[in-house]
Structures are given as structure tokens and as C-alpha cells.
Amino acid sequence: MPKYIAKRVFMALLTVLVVACITFFLMHAIPGNPWLSEKTPAPSVIEALNKKYGLDQPLPVQLVKYLGNMLRGDFGASIKMSKNRAVASIIAEKFPVSAKIGAISILWSVIVAVPLGCLSAYKRSTWVDSTLRVVCTIGISMPGFVVATILLLTLAGEGRPFPTMWNVNDVTWRSYVLPCLALGFYPMCYLARQTRTAMLDAINQEYIKTARSKGLKTGKIIFKHALRNALIPVITYLGPQIAFTLCGGFVVEKVFSIPGLGRYFVDSIQARDYPVIMGTTIFLATFIVVMNLIVDLLYKVVDPRINLEKGGN
Amino acid sequence: MAENQNMEAQSEKLLEVKDLHVSFFTPAGEVKAVGGISYELNYGEVMGIVGESGSGKSQEAYAIMGLLQSPGKVIGGSITFEGEDVLAKSREEMTEFRGTRAAMIFQNPMTSLNPVYTVGNQLIEALRTHDKKITKKEAAKRAMEMLELVGINNVDKRMKQYPHEFSGGMRQRVMIAMGLICHPKLLIADEPTTALDVTIQAQILELMKDLQKKTQMGIIFITHNLGVVAEICDKVSVMYAGKIVEQGAVNDIFYHPSHPYTLGLLRSMPRVDADEHERLIPIEGTPVDMLNPPDGCPFAPRCEHCMKICLQKMPPHVEIGEGHKSACWLRVLEKKKDESVGAEGGAEVRESKQKED
Amino acid sequence: MADKKMKKAPLGSLQPDPDIFDWNDLPADDVFEKASGQEKESFIQDRKSVSYWADAWRRLRHNVVAMVAAVVLILIMLFAFVGPMLVPYGYAQTIRGAENLHPWHTSLQDQLRVEEEIQRRKDVLQAAEEEALTAAALPSWEEFKDQYVAEQLAAEAAKQGGKLTRQRENILKAQMANEAGKAYAALKEQAAADKDAVTISTDEETVKKELGIGNRPFGYSRAELERKAAGEKVFPHVFGTDYLGRDRMVRVMIGARVSLIVGVCSALLVLIIGAVYGAISGYAGGVVDTVMQRIVELIYSIPEVLVILLISATLKPFLDDYQNAGKLFSGLVTMLGPNLISMFIAFALLYWVTMSRIVRGQILQLKNQEYVTAARALGAGGGRVIKRHLLPNCIGQIVTTTFLQIPSAIFLESFLSFLGVGVSAPLTSLGSMCSEALAGMYTYPYRLLFPAVILSVMILSLNLFGDGLRDALDPRLKK
């Protein structure tokens, strides 16, 4: 077990390092320098700015310096969008909103998807199953912004229960409903499908026959024996879904005008605000990698067969 | 001994299967998996059911246990267990029935145990599902006793281990322990040794014989391996294409086989005492399409003695000896000759019979 | 034991006991002759063996959902590829005077009627106003202004205590003129209101409703309607036009086309890179395989969307240079834009891992089979047989995975375009059209609905058909 944990942690760290390096080198591979889009300042000014941001030193040195700063929580400062404001503080301010919405979305999607998938598998080939399958297939075919806009058109606005935009000054539980609904819809449908397949697989296994021949009741067979085995492949998909929810948040934040990190990040890409881009990318990537690591460790809780390798039999 | 007294006291049979029909209603049509089989099992007897894949031997066992999955259904016949009609039991009664009155163990020990729960957990579960009052401690104790009974050492440690930490043979022992833990009267073993090494096979068979002597339970042993049958069974039913073609005591089957299929099986087995260059004689032809079984004897196209009538009508069962039946038109012919010719023709018939052997 | 269910009735036997034997019922003797080989042959009904592909095609054909999806897909492809040829407008073509047309219009006659009516009402309002004014006996504008200014000057002078300088007077006069105007307008309004002026609307929409004029389908600009009236054939703007006067339907068609092409190209890219990588990894085995698989693991854990965004942010300057240098493909580069190209690059770098795993798995299977063949020394026949049996398995999975990659790619591309980091103007994609339509969503929902619905239907049909393909090609039983 410790070997397994160590291996996963090592891979996680390596991934973050690779992403950081990729980000860094990409940012610095751009010709010209970041100051060019505005009125070209005088050369002396450019020099001073370069010195201030440490851009006049050789690349590897810059990389090391940047990584060092990163570990201390210093991601540099925004150049364009919020002049001179520390990227770290921007992240600290905007991330909680995105995180809250993301967490609620993933939570409700898992809580709803697993029972639905089980129901669908148990009532296979009945109208319940068919309806659920159709809904879930449609659900994974609709991009997040389509779902979000449909929700807005039908449930938000005058005389309707939910607000059309995120009002920073008046945040109630209602503000969360539509964004979380929109964001969690795709993962819910996807996970429900996976749960159904996994449950059908599990129910067809030999050990279910054994359980039946022991005289166990149907309920116990499904919820004790089949479900736990079915969760194993479903957990595999949980990691990518978390990453998806994070990125899906970009769209939802745009549609609902939520001042979260995702929207800021997308804006920074268009504004070419490099410190923000770099800092946010590395932060988000690290977050995703950490989440994946937690999910990987969850495996061990569910499946005692895991030693060094991931996966089943 | 107490067991003998018990046996004498129970005059009723343990299990009586009469004319059982099982069909699978698939989108392609009705597959008649079991086409009318009958047999009896007494307490303390071991019945072997022999047949190739697709002969329906497993399906009839599932029917007894109530484990038939749709689209399979019992469409005719009766199953009587200790005087009770099994097919008439409700779902509740069947869940109670399974495990306490009859138990089943399966072919592949690698996949028959749930990999995410410990062996102890699964054993205790078997106990507690039928006896709600038993404490966890009590149950654990009985589980450990059972494990020792089936020959597993270090029971304390083993109880807390997961199935993947056991070897194949040990897993099958665990399966047997799980099957017997509620002391059923009937054990159905569906090819329990097929997936195991020969040496382990021998151990498991020894174990089963041992346990059977101790508990006097009836065993139905399903296999396609005649060697195993010779080792452990008292009675044998030979199945082909969903029908029993020959039935009798184990010695009768092996020394006086009276159906071409049984003969074919025996001839195709490699034997230790055979001559060096003696060829194995396989059975020609391919198994029957169960979707559209033709009229007549299902073995007919593969039989070297096939007659016209064999292609038209299914032969009835003919008594050949005490408890020894065979469903073959050849035997019908003999009997006819016997009856009509009387004692004089007896010698001729015995001669022709010897020629066939 | 409580009996929760009814006891089932005992099943009777289907046949009379086969052990009962009626000697009198025996068939005639000749039936006991030995059967010939021919008779035995005819006994056996052979099931026709079907080739793998024929079987798969049959399964697919019978899958209603997949067939419907296929038809829808064909329709969408016609819409996307043939459509723009039928519509005489270009996707980047701006039509003057035809900005912001709705997908409906009012006919020329009706428009004239409305204009007349509005004019009439304006006249009525004007008359009523004048009547009110005369009744109120208001002074004329000139009189009022002079009076007002004089009052204000006097008040100002009083404040200053004495006469004002000429300069000051002029300044004040200029200021006052404005205020006078406002005061006068207020008076007029007051008067009109007092006189219970008729409240009639001169708003276009209300007038139309009151006149009972309905809308006709398709959008036309005024100029186009006039041309139509003159006898010219003008193609309607079925979905209306956007703020630059570009026909929406053509843009939706082009958007769909871009999405489909991007999807297919991404899938092919993933297939080629993944298959090559997987094949090499599987075939080489040993250390090479292990190293390559470690790399795969690493790539698998990198968050892809972030990298795409990153690359697109950095690529623009390079591509600008490239475009300007006029080298090979620079036209293509210009058209696609830096974001799409970075998307393709990201696909080439990151998305092929799943495909490589599948191909590697198949190669490993193939390898094992080949060893067995070599061991048995079957000769040329064996290899060919194996290819005939193993290849369907390989190809089935590969085809399905590749096909299902298409909707994934389209999904991703629309996501990026919606955020603004997808296709670049003037090229459009369904995602960017949705993004543009977001602002006016409540007043004109149709602008959002058309591209969104077509996008969803496209992805849905691709998914459904892909599922059908998988069910048909997978030799295992359907779930």
C-alpha cells in the first residue's frame, strides 16, 4: 500500500512539474515581449520593466526563479488586466467562488448519477431504463453552454424563481441553483451511463450467482455485492469528470456572469496577460492533479486487489 | 450409527425430478435446453450427471435451485425435494430454501467469490442471512470451524484475507465451506474440479467424499469428465442434447454401457491401461442445434448404428437391469426379440450385444 | 415463513411417461433398417455461416435508433456541405441595409400601410397638441423666451445689486435659452396632458398589432422587398441576418461544416498518431514498451483543456509571422486561425493516448497468436486465417473509437469557440455563433436556438450512430 501511494504521489508531482515547465517555456517562446501591445514605451522603460520582472536573465535561471517563487506562493503580478496586482491574490479571491460551484456540481451529479445508473441496470429493458438512457445520451450531447442557456431561458428572469445573472451584492442559495445545475448535468449523465454499464457487468459476474445460491435477498445482492464492484470502474471516470467540471466552469461563468477564476483566466488569454495565464494554468493544473490523486487513492478503499497496478482482475 | 438410523428413518427420497422441461425464449426462438429428464436421489447418494457443453446439465441444476435467469423458464415437469414441490415455492420461500436446504458450488473458483469482501465476511454473511439471531462472534466461530473442516490452515488469518490471496484449490475449498455452512441436505456441484489442476482435483474429490460420509447429504455432481465420475459417484445419468440417454449405477455404466453415446464417451477417453498404439476413437459429427432440435433421437446423425426409425422418433427408455435404463431403439429391438423369441432367442441377442461392445 | 407471493400452481408433465411402453404400438419392421449416410445428412439442418461483416451490417441495419441517427447525420451533412452552394450569400458577405433582420418580415404593402398609419397618427397627435396649446393660450415661443430671459436677468441683477455688465448679460442669455426651451417644452406637455390628449401609440410594433398585420416568414430588407416587387428573384434570409448584415443561415451552414471537418480531422489525427504509437509500443515490447507506456501515463494526467488554451495563447504571434511570410499553407493558416491550429496541435500531442492503448492491446494479442502459429508451424495458411479472425476484432474497436472521437472533438471545439478561443472571424463555428447570440438572448432567442439545436442534434446523432456501430461490430452480446 505505501508503495502504491508513493508511486501515485510521485507521478502527480512529476505531472505538475511538466505542466509548469511547458507553461513557462511556451510563455517565453513568444517573440517580442509582453509590453508591445500598448503604446511602445521607450527602450529605457522596457529595460526597466524587464529588470523588474526578471526578464533579462537566461531562461533556465528564470525558470528556476519562477518555480522557487511558486513554491513560496508568489506567482508574479498581472501585467494587463489588474495592473500590478499579485496573481496569487487574484487567485485567492476568485477561486473560492469557482470552487464552490464546481464542488456542488460534482457532488450532486455523483449523488444522482449512481442511483440512477443502478436503477437503470436493475430495470434493464423496461421503459424506465429506456427513458433514462435516452435522457443521458441527450445529456452528453449538449455542450454546457446549450444547457446553461436553456435553463436561463426557461427558469430565470422576471417572475421566475431564479436570477439571470450572478449578483455579487446579493448572493443567495438561488444564485447557485442554475449554474450548478448546468455545470453538473453533463457529468451526471456521463456517470449514470458508466454506472449502468458497470452494474450490468457486475450483475453478470459469477460471484453474483454464488450470492444468489447462498440465499441472499435481491436488495442485499445489488447493494452489497454488485454495487461495490461496479463503483470501481466508475471511480476511473470520476477523475476526468472533475477536470471537466473545472473547465466546464469557464463556460458557465461566462453565461451567468460569475466573477470566478475561469472567466478571468479566459479573459487573460485573450488579453495576453502572461503572468496571469501562467499562474492560473499552473494553479488549475495542480488542483486537477491533486484531485486525481485523491480519486486514485479512493480506489484502494474500494478495491482491495489494488497493489501496484491500477485496474481490475 | 446415528446416520444409518437417520437414513432408514427417512423413507422418502431426497430429490425427485420428473420429466423436467426447461426452455430459453430467445429473440431467435425457443431453445429447448432440457427436454424431459427424470431421476431420483436418495440421502447420502452421489449422482453424477455427465454430458458435453450444451447438453443442459447445468440448466437443470439451476432449475432445482431456482437460479434460472430469464429468458429461461421451467415449462413442464416437477421437482420434489423432501416431499415438497420446489417449483411451486414463492420467491421468499426459495431464498430461504437456497443455502439451508440445498446449496450449489460452481465451476470457476477464481470468479465465484466476490473480490472486494474478505472470505470471513462472505462466510458470516451466508450464516446471518438465514439465522437472524446469531451473533457475529458465534457466526465467526462457526465459519472458522467450517474452514478447518474443509482443510484450511491458519483459519484466524485466513478469515481476514481476500479471495485473491487464496490459490485456486483453496478458493474451491472456501466455496465448499460456504455451501455447507448452513448444513444443507443437498449439494449440487457444477463442474467444481474442471478449472483445477489434477492433483488439486484429487484433493477436492477426497474432501467431498469425506464430507459426504460425515453429513450424509446428497450430492449431484455435474461434469464432463468420466474419470471423476468413476471416483466419486454412486449413480450416473448421461445427458445428450437435453435428454437423459442412459442412467444407472456407476458400475453398470462403466462395465455395461448400453447407449452408443456412452460407448463413444468411454472409447474416446485416454486410458492408462490401454495398448501403446491404440487409437483414441472420437465421436464423429457436431453437437445438435438446440434452436431447432429435429424429431427423433438427437444422437442419431453421429451414431454408427443409426436406423431409419432413429431419425423419426425419440426412443423410449428401456430397462436393462436393476435401475439401469437406456433410451435407444437398439435396446427396444433387443427387448422385442427377447419377448417374442423368448428364451431361445436369448443367446442370439446376447451374441449381437457382445458384438456391439 | 410468511408467504408474500402466491404459490405457483404445480406444472404438469408435458409428455406421457416415456417409460410406459406399448408393445402393440411398435412401428413396422422395415423402419428398423439401418439408415443411410444420406438420410443422416439431411437430418442435420445446417445453419448458414455468415461472414463477420455481413453479420455486423445486419445488426446495424436492424438497430432503429442508429439508422435514424444515420439519416439525420446525412441530412446535416447535406445542410452543411451542399447548403451553402444553394444559398447565394457568402458567409462573410455583408449586405448593406440588411442588418439585424429577423427571420420574419412584413410584406412591402403592409409596411407602407403601417407607415401611412403612423404618419396619420402623428398628424393627429400634432393636431391635438396644437389644439391644446391654443386652448391653453400659451404665448409663442419667441414671446416666452424673451419674457423668461428678461425675468432671469432681472432676478440675477437683483442678486448682484444693480445692473449687470453687458458681458454678463450675454453669457446669461445664452445659458437661459437652453433652460427656456426646457421650460417651454414642460409647459406644452402640461397643456397637452391637461387637455386629455388622445393617447395613441406611434410605435411600429403596436401599430402593426392594432392593424392586425401579421409577420411573414423569412427575413428581407426593405431594399430586397422592393427588388422582389420589381420582379427580381431574391433568396430569403431564412434565419435572418446579423449585425453586419450577414445571412445567418449560411453562417450556420458554414459553422456546421467547420464543426464537422474539425471533428473528422481531429479523429483522423488521433487515429494515425495513436495507432502508430500503440503499434510500435506493442510490437517492440520490452524496455521500449515500458518507457512508452510511462510517457502515456504522464500525458494522460495532464489536463488537456488548459494546454489547449495555453498553446492558443502563445501561437498567435508565430502564426501571424507565418501568414505574412506567405509561405506554404499560409492561406490555410489564415483561414483556420491560431486557435484552431493550436487545437489540432493539442490533439496531436495529447488526445491519442486512448487510441494507442487500444491498438497496443490488439497488437499484443496478435503477437501471441503469431507465436502460437510459429510453434505449430502451420505454414502460410495459418497466418492468413488468423488475419481473417483477428483483424475483425481489431478493426471493430478501432473504427468505433475513431468514430466516437468525432463528437468529442466537435464538443471541445464548440466549447472553445464559445469562450472565444476557437475559430477566428470571419470564419464561424456553431459555438461562436452561440456566444454572439448570448447578449440578446431574451429578446431574440432564435439567434441562440438555431446554432445550439443544430449543434446538439449533430453531436447526438454522431453519438447514437457511434453506439450503434459499437453494438454491431462487437462480437460480444449486446448489453
- Note the pLDDT tens digit of each residue in B178-204: 988 888 999 999 988 888 888 888 888
Contact assignment for C298 to A281 by CB distance below 8 Å? no
CA distance B175 to B171: 6
Q: Is a pLDDT exceeding 70 seen at residue A229?
A: yes
**Encoded amino acid at A79, one letter:** I
C187: nearest Cα among C152, C145, C150: C145
Return d(Cα B254, Cα A190) in angstroms, integer. Answer: 59
Secondary element (H or E) of residue B73:
strand B72-81
Residue C85 zone, left/alpha/beta (φ > 0; ψ -120 to 50; rest):
alpha
- What whole-number distance in Å separates Cα of residue B175 and Cα of residue B181? 10
- Beta-carbon separation of A215 and B99 below 8 A: yes
Mean pLDDT of chain B: 83
Determine the residue among C3, C14, C42, C47 to mutate to test chain B binding: the one whose Cβ has the most chain B Cβ atoms within 10 Å. Answer: C14
| Selection from A46-55, B134-143, C305-314 with the highest mean pLDDT | B134-143
User: What pLDDT was estimated at residue C3?
Assistant: 37
Contacts of C321 in chain A (CB under 8 A): 31
**Among partner residues B93, B300, B327, which is closest to C40 by beta-carbon distance?**
B300
How far apart CA C160 and CA A113 sit, in angstroms, is: 82
Long-range contacts of C334-338 (CB under 8 A, 24+ apart): C335/C427, C336/C423, C336/C424, C336/C427, C337/C423, C337/C424, C337/C427, C338/C312, C338/C424
Q: Count Cα neighbours of C326 within 13 Å in the Cβ-side half-sphere.
A: 0
Measured CA to CA, the distance from residue A111 to residue A216 in angstroms comes to: 26
Q: Which helix (H) or strand (E) holds A220?
A: helix A218-220
What local confidence, expressed as pLDDT, does residue C42 receive? 64
Give the C-alpha separation, C405 to C401, whole Å: 6
pLDDT digits (tens, 9 = 90+) for C362-409: 877 777 766 656 665 555 454 555 556 566 667 778 888 899 889 988
Task: Inform me whether the pLDDT recorded for C324 exceeds 80.
Answer: no
CB proximity list for C462: less than 8 A, separation 6 or greater: C69, C73, C263, C403, C404, C406, C407, C410
Nearest by Cα to C238 from C97, C429, C426, C105: C105
CB C208 within 8 A of CB C118: no
Residue A126 has pLDDT above 80, yes or no: yes
For the whole prediction, is pTM greater than 0.80? no
| Closest residue, chain C, to A186 (C-alpha) | C411
pLDDT at C15: 46
Which of C11, C31, C40 would you mutate first to test chain B, the one with the most B CBs within 10 A? C11
Q: B170 to chain C nearest CA, in Å?
A: 30
Nearest to B308 among C13, C15, C35 (CB): C35
pLDDT number for residue A112:
94
Neighbours of chain C (3+ CB pairs under 8 A): A, B
Q: Compute how many other C-beta atoms are within 10 angstroms of the C-beta atom of residue B24.
A: 20
Residue that has been written with the C-alpha cell 480519486 in this structure: A295
Beta carbons of B36 and C18 less than 8 Å apart: yes
Checking if the pLDDT of C241 tops 70, the result is yes
Which residue of C306, C307, C446 to mutate against A (max A Cβ within 10 Å)?
Answer: C306
In this prediction, residue C1 carries a pLDDT of 37
Structure-block grid coordinates of residue C396: 471493430
Looking at every residue in chain C, the average pLDDT score rounds to 76
Cross-chain CB nearest to B19 (options C2, C15, C33): C15
CB contact under 8 A, A215 and B97: yes
pLDDT recorded at residue C457 = 93
| Reported ipTM exceeds the 0.95 cut | no
- CA distances (Å), origin B213, targets A20, B43, B206, B218, B247: 71, 11, 11, 10, 23
C-alpha cell of residue B64 = 432445482
- Pair B47, B235: CB distance under 8 Å: yes
Chain B residue closest in CA terms to C46: B289
Q: What mean pLDDT comes out for the span C125-131? A: 77
Cβ–Cβ under 8 Å, residues B263 and B231: no
State the smallest CA–CA distance between residue A310 and chain C in angstroms. 11
Report the candidate in C300, C309, C295, C317 with the shortest Cα–Cα distance to residue C345.
C309
Q: Is B354 exposed, middle or buried (0-12, 13-18, 19+ CB in 10 A)?
A: exposed
**Hey, is B344 helix, strand or coil?**
helix
Residues 126-145 of B with CB under 8 A from A: 126, 129-130
Within a 10 A sphere around the Cβ of A159, how many other Cβ atoms? 4
Cα(B345)–Cα(C290) distance, rounded to whole angstroms?
A: 79
Residue B10 has pLDDT above 70, yes or no: no
Q: Which residue has the cell 501403446?
A: B276
Q: Please indicate if any CB of chain A lies within 8 Å of the CB of B164.
A: yes
Query: At B274, is the pLDDT very low, low, confident or very high (cuts 50, 70, 90)?
Result: low
Q: Do A14 and C302 touch (CB under 8 A)?
A: no
Structure confidence at residue A1 (pLDDT): 63
- What per-residue confidence (pLDDT) applies to C372? 56
Cβ neighbours for B250, distance < 8 A, ≥ 6 positions apart: B48, B229, B230, B233, B234, B235, B236
How far, in Å, CA of B210 to CA of B176, rounded? 12
pLDDT of amino acid C276: 86
**Contacts with C431 from chain A: Cβ below 8 Å:** 143, 145
CB contact under 8 Å between C8 and B313, yes or no, is no
pLDDT at C76: 92
Q: At what angle do helices A227-256 and A144-155 cross, to 10 degrees?
A: 70
* Residue A256 confidence (pLDDT) above 70: yes
Distance CA(A208)–CA(C402), nearest Å, equals 34
- Is B308 in contact with C13 (Cβ distance < 8 A)? no
Average pLDDT over residues C114-132: 80
What SS3 class is residue B17?
strand
